[in-house]
Amino acid sequence: MGIAAAVRVLPHRTMRSLFMSLSHRRSLARLAVRSPLTRPVVARFVAGETIEEALTAIAALKQAGMHTTVDVLGESVTSPELAAAAADRYVATLPALASRGLDPNVSVKLTQMGLDIDPEVCRDNVTRIVDAARAVDGFVRFDMEDHARTDATLAIWQEAHESYPKTGVVIQSCLRRSAADIERILAAGGSVRLCKGAYDEPRSVAYLNKSTVDANYAKLMERLLTSGSYHALATHDPRLIARAIEIAERGGIGPDRFEFQMLYGVRRDLQRTLVERGCTVRIYVPYGHEWYPYFMRRLAERPANVGFMIRAILKEEGRRVRGR
């Protein structure tokens, strides 16, 4: 059995835990960033390390009929200065997008804005980003991280939303609390991006069985679709996508009233199919030098990505050996 095939037969939760653990290994991050073998693989899932590289990729997606949201990579900063620098990159990204006629739409992780250092530092940085979005009539989505930060994320989102309504937040169907959180967000007039969840959570707060997570996603998805407001469904699962389309068609919910969100480089065939069908599709486009934690979470979520990575590295290594 080949390496890629062996990886595919590991239990999904074992794979997830392994790669989530590796995502925090700084020594591996330094090695991965320096290695030329990783670059062609990472390029599949990350739109570049600079804003110029990202703008080129985003323009190509727009040409293909897709919308975008931009993630300037980085998380869990260790000082107020690093958090401010991360916010600076968002403040520069929003007008750069608008000036090119691209969606001034960004997704922000609050640990990157200093949440774990000082909530007030985080709030100050969020305010600067929201002000930059307001200046270009843009949109800010607050990404959801692990369960320990859910309450703080919702609180900061609500403060931002009261100041500037074009903000939204992410809810994860793996968490047991999510139905109640959605009702709170709907009552506040907020916009939800529904995803399954990418963090290794304890059983006390999360559903660990994939079928239960999927069933909860389907239930929450129907609540959002029939709520009368605009939401985003982040999934690559064809069954859930088909279910969403069925609910929309049955309820007379047009494609201008919700969107599918998918990750840059993942199921590009499905992205194109949905656009051709007339669905609204938004691609989550990450860029930046600090791509390692993001990349490892993508491997944790989809074992097929691991096989793709290993095959690409072996192929690249084969070329190098033959070229000696």
Point out which residues pair with 233 in neighbouring strands: 194, 260
**Residue 143: active-site member:** yes
Task: List the one residue out of 69, 40, 6 whose CA is nearest residue 295.
Answer: 40
Among candidate residues 123, 193, 243, 282, the one labeled active-site is 193
Contact status, residue 222 vs residue 205, Cβ threshold 8 Å: no
Among candidate residues 71, 103, 116, 143, the one labeled active-site is 143
Strand runs labelled E in 121-199? 139-142, 167-172, 191-195
CA gap 129, 93 in Å, rounded: 10
Point out which residues pair with 124 in neighbouring strands: none
Element (H, E) at 250: helix 238-250
CA gap 250, 241 in Å, rounded: 14
Query: Dihedral of the CA atoms 52, 295, 151, 233 (nearest 10)?
Result: 80
Identify the burial level of 253 via C-beta atoms within 10 angstroms of its C-beta, where 0-12 means exposed, 13-18 middle and 19 or more buried. Answer: middle
| Residues with catalytic roles | 143, 193
